[in-house]
Amino acid sequence: MMDDTSTQTVLLMAIFALASLLHGISGLGVTLVTTTALASMYPLPYAIVLIIFPSLLLNALTWLAGGGRSIWQNFIYYGRRYWLLALTSLLGSILGAKLLLWVDSAYILVLLAAVIGYYVVSSLLGKQIRLPDTKPVLIIVGFSAGVIGGATNAMSTILMMYLLSASNDKNTIAKVGNMCYFLGKIAQIIVLREPIMALGRGEWQLIAVFSVLSVATLLIGIRLRRYLPQARFRQLILVILSVLGLRVGWQGVMAFL
């Protein structure tokens, strides 16, 4: 019979596997699912530190691999077209990661839940959020997504509001989103370098296991993506966001009590 530590490790492995599968299919999921799951077991800053490197690896693979282009071609193609969105999300992520250390995360979680709720309800009612295709809007969205992502690991909640309005191509949505998520992880590594360096050998081994498992299930998800119709893709994103919104909202409210 497994002890509590072994049971918890198996549960975390299952969570990472499911999250990575969703990530391969939809371009998001690994940080959303794993962060909310680990945050129920550990303090939010520690949960984010455990997730950084597996997420970084998956974001890089989803952004740079596949899509009919080489790794270098993907880097140039999406970097050239969406560099401003990537830059503003990076800057926002640096601030967001600092807020993780400075501000009670309950405030950010409650705000995030409200944003998710508004987006999901408006989408279900058929009121698609259409953002003007202007540089000021892009800068505001990129920076706001970065702040939320840096503090809560849920950049996609804000970013998807822009990307789903700006593009109907699920491949572009997945790759541009993961380019921004990748830079957000770089920002977190810079800001959270001290708690990262304080991790023990056992924690690094756990991170390595999560990373290998995540890559394997990600590749399965990427293969499934081609069979997923666009309508199903959008529905999957709404389901993920709904679950996340309920979870983080509950976490935020309980933190105030």
Q: How many residues does the chain have?
A: 257
Low-confidence ranges of the chain (pLDDT < 50): 1-2
Q: Which domain holds residue 164?
A: 4-256
Number of domains in the chain: 1
Q: What is the pLDDT of residues 111-126, one digit of tens each?
A: 777 777 777 777 677 6
Which pLDDT score is estimated for 162? 79
The DSSP 8-state label assigned to residue 160 in this structure reads H
Distance of alpha carbon 49 from alpha carbon 102, whole angstroms: 16
The amino acid occupying position 207 is I
For 174, half-sphere exposure in the C-beta direction (CA atoms, 13 angstrom radius) is: 32
Mean per-residue pLDDT over the chain, rounded: 81
State whether residue 148 is helix, strand or coil. helix
Residue 1 is predicted with a pLDDT of 40
Distance CA 152, CA 209 (A): 23
Which pTM was predicted?
A: 0.80
Residues ≥6 apart with Cβ < 8 Å to 89: 142, 143, 145, 146, 149, 155, 159, 180, 183, 184
Packing angle of the helix pair 170-191, 135-152 (nearest 10 deg): 60
pLDDT for the residue numbered 220? 87
Identify the pLDDT of residue 24: 77
* Contact criterion met (CB below 8 Å) for 85 and 142: yes
